Amino acid sequence: MRLTCPLCGDRDRREFYYYGAEDYLHRPVEGAPVADWDNYLHLRDNPAGVTKDLWYHEAGCSQWLLVTRNTVTHEISAVELVAERKA
Amino acid sequence: MRYSGLKVITEGLLGNKGWTPAWRDPAPKAEYDVVIIGGGGHGLSTAYYLAKNHGITNVAVLEKGYLGSGNIGRNTTIVRANYFLPGNSEFYSHSMKLWEGLEADLNYNVMHSQRGLINLFHSDGQRDAFVRRGNAMINQGDDAILLDRDGVREHLPYLDFDNTRFPIYGGLLHPRGGSARHDAVAWGYARGADKRGVDLIQNCEVTGIDIDGGVVRGVQTTRGAIRAKKVGIVVAGRSSQVAAMAGMRLPIESHVLQAFVTEGLKPVINHVISFGMGHFYISQSDKGGLVFGGDLDFYASYAARGNLPMVEHVMEAGMTLMPMIGRAKVLRSWGGIMDMSPDGSPIIDKTHVDGLFIDCGWNYGGFKAVPASGWCMAHLMATGESHEVAAKFRLDRFATGHLLDEEGTGSQHNLH
């Protein structure tokens, strides 16, 4: 599997660290109810198909990436910079 | 039909014409007392113990493929009871006791072999942790023996003891650990359940769960609707999808775990060996193949195959530990879909729907748990109360903070 980093180009999977589902981008605010934290940390849609998850380009540009990919075929359809997405 | 040595001999003399199918192939009835979704190891053992322990025989097991077509046939067959945390320890201890009586109970040869499991350690700190784990195992009533370097050498003279990165300091020997024939476990439970009246229905995929007023009423399947008073979800790698049919979002992320087997060799590895620092473990099957595996591929996946970086890593770890296997040829590799929970421990619990139960989150430790998982799931479904050895496997423990993080690695799904 290879990921195309928006900054570094087409790179080997081993350059990246997988963190988890997109849910990690939606951190609850301080004082949020326990259910929100449970959703954020534990509960997952976990689709067999297209999903979005977070990868860190550890051996490259050190950017966090939001990757759209298929969990059944391993096909990657989009890679976005998390930093730009928030801006 | 009861299987025995005498039966094998007489059938051999009579041309093997007297063997009958090990289970029926019934069409689904319109209604059952209990429907189990999933005809793998855990689903079949649940059905078996519902019938045997609780006398509930109006039961159907619905399997979308063929019996035992999922992870029960895609694992590395290790059986052990070397857990540390209260909540896990008594459960796996119970499972080990069931394994020890399983063949007599099922009248089926599951080739359970207590050849001994050795977990290697490579530092003073790791030794201390293993002493503590070994004491927990002994306190639980199981067995553990701390081996020093020479002790390990007596058992496993072929390891590379002087490896500069991970020199072997010793190992924790679990004599009752070992392995079993994975497919035979599914077949034995299937046969036992069928004999007690359970309908095993294959090629029957569940497409919906009927819920009315917060109470489960049955399931929709590719072979029609089936009404049921109670429904159990026991589907391992597809837990999130089936639970979603009941409106649930599970604390599960699915990952692929690879394993490998070499060509058949003469007996060379007599134990199950685990090399935690290299994420590598190995045993030799009765057929002669070296069966070994490593860690997850680390990203969420439903592809029952892995990627090459982990293949390379596992081979490197194997060569680091025991250079003697370098010339063995790998015959096959495969991947199984692990339902990873955020604390690495499983779930056997009721759900928010009355009459709907779930057994999932086995991470990559599901095989050894097959007997006790079925035992405890059957107990829960029959009595409505958690079995005492599975009382901490609660679905809501992540929200309440009662985690069972055996490895102490935090709440990230792929780190267990």
Contacts of A42 in chain B (CB under 8 A): 251, 342, 398-399, 411
Of A18, A34, A45, the CB nearest to B399: A34
DSSP-based helix, strand, coil % in chain A, nearest 5: 25, 40, 40
Which domains does chain A possess? 2-84 (3.30.2270.10)
Q: Does the pLDDT value for residue A87 go beyond 80?
A: no
Query: Are the Cβ atoms of A13 and B307 closer than 8 angstroms?
Result: yes
CB-based burial, A2-26: b 16+ in 10 Å, e otherwise: ebebeeeeebebbbbebbbbbbeee
pLDDT for the residue numbered B322: 96
Q: How confident is the model at residue A86 (pLDDT cuts 50, 70, 90)?
A: low
In terms of C-beta density within 10 A (0-12 exposed, 13-18 middle, 19 or more buried), how is residue B13 classed? exposed
Q: Which of B92, B51, B126 is nearest to B23 (CA)?
A: B51
3-state secondary structure of A58: coil
CA distance B69 to B44: 12
Q: Which of B373, B351, B263 is nearest to B38 (CA)?
A: B373
CA distance B410 to B253: 14
The CA-based diameter of chain A, rounded to the nearest angstrom, is 41
Amino acid at position A68, single letter: T
Average pLDDT of B229-241?
97
Q: Does the pLDDT value for residue B33 go beyond 80?
A: yes
| Mean pLDDT for chain B overall | 96
Residue B320 near chain A (CB below 8 Å): no
Contacts of A51 in chain B (CB under 8 A): 300
Query: Are the Cβ atoms of B307 and A48 closer than 8 angstroms?
Result: no
Query: Are the Cβ atoms of B253 and A44 closer than 8 angstroms?
Result: yes
Residue B161 near chain A (CB below 8 Å): no
Contacts of A46 in chain B (CB under 8 A): 240, 250, 252-254, 300
Sign of the four-CA dihedral B331, B335, B336, B341: positive
Q: Does the pLDDT value for residue A50 go beyond 60?
A: yes
pLDDT for the residue numbered B13: 97
Q: Contact B315/A86 with Cβ under 8 angstroms?
A: no
Residue B398 near chain A (CB below 8 Å): yes
Residue B309 near chain A (CB below 8 Å): yes
Q: Give B3's DSSP letter.
A: -
Q: Which residue of B has its CA nearest to A35?
A: B399
Alpha-carbon distance B411 to nearest alpha carbon in chain A (angstroms) = 7
Q: Which residue of A has its CA nearest to B239?
A: A46
Note which residues in 38-77 of chain A have CB less than 8 A from chain B. 38-39, 41-48, 51, 53, 55, 71-74
Query: Are the Cβ atoms of B398 and A18 closer than 8 angstroms?
Result: no
Q: pLDDT tens for residues B358-369? A: 999 999 999 999
Number of other residues whose CB lies within 10 A of the CB of residue B141: 12
pLDDT for the residue numbered B352: 97
Q: Give B127's DSSP letter.
A: H
Phi, psi of B174 (to 5 degrees): -115, 90
Whether the pTM exceeds 0.90: the reply is yes
pLDDT for the residue numbered B25: 97
Q: How confident is the model at residue A85 (pLDDT cuts 50, 70, 90)?
A: confident
3-state secondary structure of B294: strand
Of B399, B412, B413, the CB nearest to A38: B399
Q: Contact B237/A44 with Cβ under 8 angstroms?
A: no
The complex's ipTM? 0.95
pLDDT for the residue numbered B102: 98
Torsion from C-alpha of B261, B263, B265, B268, nearest 10 degrees: -20
pLDDT for the residue numbered B356: 98
% of chain B surpassing 90 pLDDT: 98
Q: Contact B109/B183 with Cβ under 8 angstroms?
A: no
More confident residue, B163 or A86: B163
Of A38, A41, A71, the CB nearest to B300: A71
Query: Are the Cβ atoms of B299 and A53 closer than 8 angstroms?
Result: yes
Contacts of A75 in chain B (CB under 8 A): none
Of B300, B302, B309, the CB nearest to A13: B309
Contacts of B416 in chain A (CB under 8 A): none
Q: How confident is the model at residue B164 (pLDDT cuts 50, 70, 90)?
A: confident
Q: pLDDT tens for residues B276-330? A: 999 999 999 999 999 999 999 999 999 988 899 999 999 999 999 999 999 999 9
State the distance between the two ends of chain A, measured CA to CA, in whole angstroms: 29
Q: pLDDT tens for residues B181-209? A: 999 999 999 999 999 999 999 999 999 99
% of chain B surpassing 70 pLDDT: 100
Q: Does the pLDDT value for residue B408 go beyond 80?
A: yes
Average pLDDT of B205-215?
98
Query: Are the Cβ atoms of B342 and A1 closer than 8 angstroms?
Result: no
Contacts of A43 in chain B (CB under 8 A): 249-251, 398
Structure-token pair, residue B414? 């792929």
Angle B298-B302-B308 (CA atoms, 0-180°, nearest 5)? 50
Average pLDDT of B375-394?
98
Alpha-carbon distance B296 to nearest alpha carbon in chain A (angstroms) = 12
CA distance A73 to A79: 16
Sheet containing B145-148: order of strands: B145-148, B170-174, B117-121, B272-275, B280-284, B289-300, B253-264, B330-340
3-state secondary structure of A76: strand
Q: Which residue of A has its CA nearest to B256?
A: A71
Of A18, A43, A51, the CB nearest to B251: A43
Average pLDDT of B48-63?
98
Query: Are the Cβ atoms of A71 and B303 closer than 8 angstroms?
Result: yes
Q: Which residue of A has its CA nearest to B312?
A: A14
CA distance A47 to B188: 33
